[in-house]
């Protein structure tokens, strides 16, 4: 059975986001995490205590520069343990300092820091074409061949074409999908479903006809945009079965 999640939007109070999620039957939140740590509304500090007190299922999405793994991973693991999470999404980027072989660097870092994540399932997210690495099929295949225990989070809006999407699925079938729309010719967008050009009927009728994992709507706009996006995707999935 598919589980549907949405973002915990940092510009809204956490308790209000929970009300929205419950009223619209979302099963869990995606929490934003970066080099500075968890990101929530400024009035929700301390963030960890706010999350614990409100007790709603969640998963951390950690956007981490591979130049900063050494400093960030220990704090990330501590946060995961404090929240008693068993899964984490790591979205690796390489922006602060250029590296000649970033994919090889990522591979070494995964192997080096895997011991810190005992009992925690790691999902790696693919990048968009605009990013410097971990977006091409050969790069993604290399990482998953080298690290078979790592799972794949596939961001559909980061994929260049239906052909590439099909190739990525063959490399490693994802257990989590990031869902949002984008327009043709735009490298990186996260629009409500129907506001871009992605044909989700093709995606779910052909490529993900039997998908049974988690779907996270990476849409930060109005409540109605998130609700309508979910309705459209659910309707497509219902007709594909």
Express each pLDDT in 155-165 by its tens digit: 999 999 999 99
The pLDDT of residue 97 is: 86
* pLDDT tops 70 at residue 60: yes
Average pLDDT value for residue range 85-89: 98
What is the CA 34 to chain-centroid distance, rounded? 13
The 10s digit of each residue's pLDDT in 64-83 is 999 999 999 999 999 999 99
Write the pLDDT tens digit of every residue in 6-37: 999 999 999 999 999 999 999 999 999 999 99
Q: Which domain holds residue 82?
A: 3-240
Please report, rounded to a whole number, the percentage of residues in the chain having pLDDT higher than 90. Answer: 88
Cα 73 to Cα 36, 78, 108, 157, 237: the distances in Å are 11, 9, 14, 27, 37
pLDDT at 241: 62
Helix (H/G/I), strand (E/B), else coil: 62: strand
Instruction: Give the tokens for residue 221.
Output: 């706009």
pLDDT at 109: 96
Residue 234 in this model has a pLDDT that exceeds 70: yes
Size (the chain), residues: 241
Mean predicted lDDT score pLDDT of the chain: 95
Kindly give the residue spans of alpha helices, DSSP state H, lying in 24-157. Answer: 47-54, 69-82, 102-113, 137-146
Q: Is the pTM of this model over 0.85?
A: yes
Q: Rounded to an integer, what distance in angstroms lies between the CA atom of residue 225 and that of residue 223?
A: 5
Cis peptide before 218 (omega within 30 of 0): no
Residue with tokens 């949002």: 180
pLDDT tier, 100 (very low <50, low <70, confident <90, very high otherwise): confident
The enclosing domain of 170 has a CATH number of: 3.20.20.150
Q: How many domains does the chain have?
A: 1
Q: Which residue has the tokens 């602060």?
A: 96
Q: Output the pLDDT for position 204.
A: 95
Cβ neighbours of residue 208 under 8 Å, at least 6 residues apart? 169, 177
What is the DSSP track for 134-146?
S-SHHHHHHHHHH
pLDDT tens per residue, range 174-212:
999 999 999 988 878 899 999 999 999 999 999 999 899
Q: Any residues with CB less than 8 A from the CB of 18 and at least 6 apart, and which?
A: 29, 54, 56
Spatial distance between the Cα atoms of 168 and 155, rounded to a whole number of angstroms: 11
């Amino acid at each position: 059975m598919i589980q549907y999640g949405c973002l915990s939007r940092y510009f809204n109070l956490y308790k209000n986001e929970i009300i929205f999620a419950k009223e619209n039957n979302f099963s869990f939140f995606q929490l934003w995490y970066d080099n500075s740590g968890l990101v929530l509304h400024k009035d929700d500090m301390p963030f960890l205590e706010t999350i614990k007190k409100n007790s709603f299922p969640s998963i951390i999405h950690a956007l981490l520069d591979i130049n900063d793994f050494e400093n960030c991973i220990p704090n990330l693991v501590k946060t995961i343990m404090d929240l008693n999470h068993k899964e984490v999404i790591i979205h690796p980027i390489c922006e602060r300092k250029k590296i000649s072989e970033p994919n090889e660097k990522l591979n070494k870092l995964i192997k080096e820091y895997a011991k810190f994540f005992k009992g925690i399932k790691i999902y790696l997210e693919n990048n968009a074409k605009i990013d410097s690495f971990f977006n091409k099929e050969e790069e993604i295949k290399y990482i998953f061949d080298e690290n078979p225990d790592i799972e794949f989070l596939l961001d559909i809006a980061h994929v260049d074409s239906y052909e590439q999407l099909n190739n990525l699925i063959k490399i490693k079938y994802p257990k989590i999908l990031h869902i949002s729309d984008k327009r043709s010719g735009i490298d990186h967008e996260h629009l409500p479903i129907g506001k871009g050009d992605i044909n989700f009927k093709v995606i779910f009728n052909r490529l993900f006809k039997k998908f049974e994992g988690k779907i996270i709507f990476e849409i930060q706009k109005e409540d109605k945009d998130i609700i309508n996006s979910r309705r459209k995707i659910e309707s497509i999935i219902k007709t594909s079965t």
